[in-house]
Amino acid sequence: MGWLGRITAGGALIAVGSLASCMLLSTSDGSRQATPPAQPATSPAEAPTMTPTPTAPPVRTSPLTGLPEPAPRPVLIVKLDNTRNAQPHAGLKDADVVYIEEVEYGITRIAAVFSSTIPKRIGPVRSARITDIDLLAQYGSPAFAFSGAQHKLWPALDKASFIDISPNKAAKNYVRDYARRAPYNYFLDGQAGLAQAPDASMTTDMGWTFAPDPPAGGLPVTKARMEWSYASASFAYDEPLRSYKVHLNGVKARAEEDGRVLHASTVVIQYVDQNPSVYFDKGGGNTPQATTTGSGKAIVLRDGRAWDVNWSRPDDASGTTFTLPDGSPMPFKPGQTWVVLLDNERTAHLTDQTALATPTASATVTASSSAGR
């Protein structure tokens, strides 16, 4: 039995899984007839010259989305609030990759990675945390926008690989939106912010593989939910759109721009070691630190199914690879990817809603990283 677990429906086991001659007819009738007037000699038809069909060059794709990208583009990462007060988010629908990480008191924050599209308005912007330093290093030296940080953390941030475009360096790129309540009203002009970092890293190989079709195997999973003390995130498969509706903290995550629900093409639940850090907020709350280097277990959801995979990142400068149990790469679906950094001590609850036999039946996969240790 794979570490994903088992699926049951109405108490009954319904599934168990581990998660390419021109034939020149020269005829002569041989008859004895008057000799006709001489005719010019006829040469055999020359074979046509075969012109090889030109081969179209391969289309370059973004290493962050798997979608066409003619040339590498600079990377901008923005730290966002992730409470109900922050919703709806501005610009988040255009992110290439979205990370969810736990902070103090069991709430969460978002680190949104932009490259394909740089929105004019992104927010609400919030402060950096210790987890961001190692997490962002795999992108090289991206431009990093955040509202600030606690005093003790600044020396570590100053040594980090990213380019600081916080208000500490470029306050002119931020604005307060007084139609919203502080501190959930701080917004970045993403285009101006990125212009502040002309040396920002370009998109590069992250170790990810993309494919329009899913690999064989996997378990039918149409909903995933993760919970913290004061936060939650869930993803529900939308069959017509073949992507996952995003819910944050119990409500649909919508785009400020058009009110539409955010969708993820691929969802990665990455189990990580998480421990208290040496940093505390003003109220005494400890900031947890998630370790995103090394290796561990993960669950990848795409196309209504889930696969148990392994993740590996040898060092800060390396990208994170996700592989199936046989060692082959786990292909993500092209489009926006959401990565939930989930403490090894927590559990992701996965549900196959398509297996419901009756309105009162349930089909749930309970996935815990401890099962794969």
Mean pLDDT (whole number) for 151-159: 97
pLDDT band at 4 (very low <50, low <70, confident <90, very high): low
Class of domain 76-372: alpha beta
Q: What is the pLDDT of residues 309-347, one digit of tens each?
A: 999 999 999 999 999 999 999 999 999 999 999 999 999
pLDDT at 118: 98
- Give the predicted TM-score (pTM) of the model: 0.84
Cα separation of 16 and 152, whole Å?
A: 49
Residue 355: per-residue pLDDT: 62
**Three-state secondary structure call for residue 153:** helix
pLDDT band at 45 (very low <50, low <70, confident <90, very high): low
The pLDDT value given to residue 353: 73
Cis peptide before 72 (omega within 30 of 0): no
Q: What CA–CA distance (Å, rounded) separates 1 from 129? A: 38
pLDDT averaged over every residue in the chain = 86
Q: Look at residue 365 in the predicted model and tell me its pLDDT.
A: 46
pLDDT digits (tens, 9 = 90+) for 182-196: 999 999 999 999 999
Question: So what's the pLDDT on residue 58?
Answer: 79
The pLDDT, as a whole number, for residue 319 is: 97
- CA angle in degrees (0–180, nearest 5) for 199-203-205: 130
Question: Residue 11 has which token pair?
Answer: 């108490």
Of 239, 244, 232, 252, which is closest to residue 268 (Cα–Cα)?
244
In angstroms, how far is the first alpha carbon of the chain from the final one?
14
Is the pLDDT confidence value at 350 over 80? yes
**Can you tell me the mean pLDDT for 22-30?**
36
Burial class, 171, CB count within 10 angstroms (exposed 0-12 / middle 13-18 / buried 19+): exposed
Question: CA separation (Å) from 194 to 44, 98, 115, 138?
Answer: 68, 18, 10, 18
Q: What is the DSSP string of 319-370?
A: --EEE-TTS-B-EEPSS-EEEEEEETTSEEEEE-GGG-SSTT--EEEEEEGG
User: Taking a C-beta distance cutoff of 8 angstroms, is the pair 270, 298 a contact?
Assistant: yes
Single-letter code of the amino acid located at 239: E
Eight-state DSSP code of residue 85: G
Does residue 161 contact residue 141 with C-beta atoms inside 8 Å? yes
Domain segments of the chain as ranges: 76-372
pLDDT at site 47: 57
Distance CA 311, CA 10 (A): 33
Q: Give the burial class of 182: count Cβ atoms within 10 A of its Cβ; 0-12 exposed, 13-18 middle, 19 or more buried.
A: exposed
**pLDDT confidence bin for 1, thresholds 50/70/90:** very low
H or E stretch at 275: strand 266-280
